[in-house]
Structure 1
Amino acid sequence: MTEQYAYIKRQFFNSLKRGTGEAYLILNDNPNIDFSDIIIEGAFTNFAFDQQCEGSRAVYVYRLIKKIPQKDKIIKTVLTKLQVKRNDYWGLDQMCDLAVLFFKAGYPEAKTALYNRFEKNALEGYEFCGQVQLMEIDGINGALKVAESVGKKIFEENDWEDSWHIDNFQKKNKQLSVYNELQKAGKQNKFIDAYLKSIIENKWSRAKYKKSTKFSYELIREKIDANKFRVISVDKANDLSIQEVEKLATEVLEEKDKQRQELYLRFFAKRKFPFDYRLLLKIASGKNPPKTRLVEYAVDSLTYFSGKDIRNLALQKFSSLKNPSNYLNLLVSNYEKGDHQLLVEIANRSDNYEYIHSIAFGFIDIYKVNKTEDCKEPLEIIYNKINCGIHREDIVKLLIDNNVLSDKIKWEIKFDSNIKLRKLHTQVTKNGR
């Protein structure tokens, strides 16, 4: 293999791990290079930063599989691996999704492989997987198989199951009477009967809409006193009157307990502190007390203020800390022309996914407030390094808002692992941007 081929394959693998559409475009431009080993690795492993939030990348991977001559080899390898893979829930879930796509594309062996792996769920050391995919691939037969398998555990181990999976299956298969089918099968099978009884007793229902609670000083103080004040939106923080906000601000000035102080600052991260910001700056300049995120929330509370001393603290932290992610928001209201070079330097310090993900929050917050074409270089560096499709979506939207979306990224998002980015490509091209 020539050095050029090796470079292209490294570039392809880098894109695949991040989930960007560059991988598809590389395949398209290099039909003579065999990328099958890399695609197989991408099929086995969900490389997303937060797999639970992003979900399976099966559609993204399958698009790559369909593109190359080694398609049959890859499908056979993935199905073989699925049947023996013991754990890694998110990788297994992705492989089960791929099995569904293979089956729908005319590979009947995918159903056999999925059944074989599902049978092993009861074995020690095998992580449970495949129930949603089995029901999708084999309809009511798959649903009955799931009911029997899960029902066996309910019957023998006094376990339980709610009705979410069956109700979702029923919603997608309106021509069936799923509960009737379970009832009929349950008369002959004690495990299916146990499953049916459990899902009836544990009926899943979407939480009913509740009238939104209006936040007040009293409610926030009650939550702080109970150590239960965790999250509040900007809209909810704005429920409070100026007098109530000032009352909370007075209390935080007097508060000596650092953990309680943090709870107050969670509020002021979403609503501007009404007094002089020096207390906030003093906290942000100090060390984080044990078992608190006090400095982080002090920094977030300072996003509403501009001041030379705030900017100086930001510059000092940027230069003295290898990872200044906790201090990036100091620049939100103190950004100056040319600061994109500061952010470029910070973004170039590491390619580590954890590092890039940690600084992405601050970069996004800074450029949501500061509209400038100078955002292009630092945001593109993050885009080209991050394996979080959710942040990548935020970054692309900022590039569009500032009219600096490159043609390269515009075409890549058409094949991105993030479905919202794929839809965004359609909008961008439709609007001629």
Structure 2
Amino acid sequence: MTKLLSEKNDDYGLDQMCDLAVKFYKAGYSEAKQVVYKRFEKNILEDYAFCGTEAIMELYGVEGVLKVAELVGEILIENPDDYESSWRIDDFQKRNKQVDIYKELEKASLENEFIKVYYNSIQQNKWTLPRHRKIKRFTYELVKEKMESKRFGFLSSDRNNELTEVVVEKLANEFLTEKDNQKIELYLRFFSARKFPFDYTPIFKIANGRNPKNKRLVEYAIEALKHFKSDEIRQFAINRIKTKKNPADFLCLLVSNYKKGDFKLLTEVINRSDDYDYIHSIVFGIIEIFEANPTKECQEPLELIYNKMNCGLHRIDIVELLYENNVLSDKIFKELEFDSEDRIRKLYRKIKNGR
């Protein structure tokens, strides 16, 4: 609470401290409510990051909403090009059906110019959920359209699996005759999600070659090769993983070519550095390998990378893999109860109930 009052710029830290203050108050620490109010008033001061909107609304109800409206309205007057959308008020209304919060704001706006500016702004900037657009059926024509518009992410989508084998073979034949490197790159993106239907040799040749200037053909060719099981591809992968300072791009090749004992090599790769960017670059491949190859051997490399990173999205994947392979340690299990990720805490409760 002391830190919340004095902290100026740690945006995520401030959000978490405000959320904690609400929990403290609900747990019986009455002084937390006043701390949130005092910190919220500092939002108007120079160098103080804005925080506490949701917290003060939850703690003070209608009074909190009016406090937010007054302070934000004052900021809007000083910054006429800025605006406030209605989503916070709409959310408050949804959770507090016993009060007409718009009527309360309208009434207060008659006597307070700051609240009036705020009220007008949320009326003019109504927040609505985006409408669901009808998804186009995945077809050969749609793939070609996305290639023309360079929609890279779309091309490597799992929706590629909706296409028939006939269509995939048609695209594969086009790829084999294509001369333009930019278009070859697009085809490889497609085949990173949908297995190339013919022999992998032409793709392997690209993966084993050099990139043309400003192109990423080698990277996408490697991604496309991950669907193939082959001694040649495995040896290529092992050599690159052993010799490259950062072998992140080559880890995916073990997805279809993992062998018993490879966990030792993966553990060595993880131990090469504690650098955040390095660890984050290799975690995708490590997870993908063990998702495709269930084994108790996953424990050592996954525990190691778990202890080296703080990304919640990857942590849930790591924990689930450890659990599914029956190698989740008691130490990590006990930590899950207090994890910042809701899905991990939910997994903790599931495991606990199972035990």
Q: TM-score, normalised by structure 2?
A: 0.91
Counterpart in the other structure of 2:103? 180
Q: How does 1:57-76 map to 2 (within 5 A)?
A: none
Q: Compute the displacement of 1:257 (Å).
A: 4.2
Gap runs ≥5 in structure 1? 1-78
Task: Give the one of 316, 332, 350 matched to 2:255.
Answer: 332
Counterpart in the other structure of 2:42? 120
Q: TM-score, normalised by structure 1?
A: 0.76
Task: Give the one of 182, 193, 197 matched to 1:274.
Answer: 197
Counterpart in the other structure of 1:400? 323
Letter in 1 for 2:283: A
Task: Give the one of 97, 121, 146 matched to 1:223.
Answer: 146
Q: Compute the displacement of 1:114 (Å).
A: 2.3
Choose 79-88 or 315-324, whichever is displaced more. Answer: 79-88
Query: What is the CA–CA distance in structure 2 between the aligned matches of 1:376 and 1:131, rounded to whole Å?
Result: 43
Counterpart in the other structure of 1:380? 303
Q: Deviations over 1:198-233 (max 9, x none)?
A: 222222122233333212221222122122332357
Counterpart in the other structure of 1:109? 31
Change (3 A) 1:345 1:200: same
8 A contact 2:73–2:116 mirrored in 1: yes
Letter in 1 for 2:52: G
Gap runs ≥5 in structure 2? none
Change (3 A) 1:138 1:283: farther
Query: What is the CA–CA distance in structure 1 between the aligned matches of 2:187 and 2:54, rounded to whole Å?
Result: 43
Q: How does 1:244-323 map to 2 (within 5 A)?
A: 244-289=167-212, 291-323=214-246
1:145 aligns with 2:67: yes
Q: Deviations over 1:344-388 (max 9, x none)?
A: 111222223332222111111011111222222221212222212
Letter in 1 for 2:87: W
Query: What is the CA–CA distance in structure 1 between the aligned matches of 2:5 and 2:46, rounded to whole Å?
Result: 15
Query: What is the CA–CA distance in structure 2 between the aligned matches of 1:221 and 1:254, rounded to whole Å?
Result: 16
Q: Deviations over 1:312-358 (max 9, x none)?
A: 22111111112211110010001111111111111222223332222
Letter in 1 for 2:285: G
Query: What is the CA–CA distance in structure 1 between the aligned matches of 2:211 and 2:310, rounded to whole Å?
Result: 29
SS of structure 1 residue aligned to 2:313 = helix
8 A contact 2:155–2:186 mirrored in 1: no
Q: Compute the displacement of 1:237 (Å).
A: 0.8
Task: Give the one of 70, 78, 82 matched to 2:4.
Answer: 82
Identity of aligned residues (%): 55
Q: Deviations over 1:114-133 (max 9, x none)?
A: 23332332333332222112
Matched residues, number: 354
- RMSD value, Cα: 2.2
Task: Give the one of 131, 151, 154 matched to 1:208.
Answer: 131
Q: Deviations over 1:24-82 (max 9, x none)?
A: xxxxxxxxxxxxxxxxxxxxxxxxxxxxxxxxxxxxxxxxxxxxxxxxxxxxxxx3332
SS of structure 2 residue aligned to 1:111 = helix
Q: Compute the displacement of 1:246 (Å).
A: 2.3
Counterpart in the other structure of 1:17? none
Query: What is the CA–CA distance in structure 2 between the aligned matches of 1:405 and 1:429, rounded to whole Å?
Result: 12
Q: Compute the displacement of 1:259 (Å).
A: 4.0
Task: Give the one of 339, 343, 346 matched to 1:420.
Answer: 343
Q: Say which structure, 1 or 2, has more relative contact order (CA 8 Å, 6+ apart).
A: 1
